[in-house]
Structure 1
Amino acid sequence: MLKRERIKKKIYITRTEARSDIFEYIEMFYNSKRRHGSNGQRSPLDYEMAHQKRVMCV
């Protein structure tokens, strides 16, 4: 989807421009607050924070 909607329709002059545009697309598309059933009804952000805490304790 990213390739079809964004990358194939643009010509990027620099790698930085490409990275910036792709990052913007992902941030717009990906909802970091929506809850997901596969991770215990946590938002992706909450899940990542809990994971980081577990990693730091090990």
Structure 2
Amino acid sequence: MTYRFKYKNFEEACQNIFWYIEAFYNSKRIHQSLGYLTPNQFEKLTA
């Protein structure tokens, strides 16, 4: 993710990485240790 973009400053990089993790990665990638659920699905079940 970080190699695809040229960031103007550290803040811009942090915002983009935060978006990637929260909006994309946690909603799409399943984890074996979470019973093949995404982090968002697992969090909803355990809340």
TM-score by length of 1: 0.46
* % identity of equivalent residues: 26
Count of paired positions: 35
Structure 1 residue ranges (4+ consecutive) displaced by more than 4 angstroms after TM superposition: none
Matched, 1:29 2:22: no
Determine the C-alpha separation between the residues in 2 that align with 1:7 and 1:16. Answer: 13
TM-score by length of 2: 0.54
| Structure 2: segments with no counterpart, 5+ residues | 36-40
Relative contact order (C-alpha < 8 Å, sep 6+): which is higher?
Answer: 2
Q: CA RMSD in A?
A: 2.5
Deviation per CA, 1:4-49, whole angstroms, max 9, x where unpaired? xx11111111111000000111111113xx7x23xxxx81x22xx6
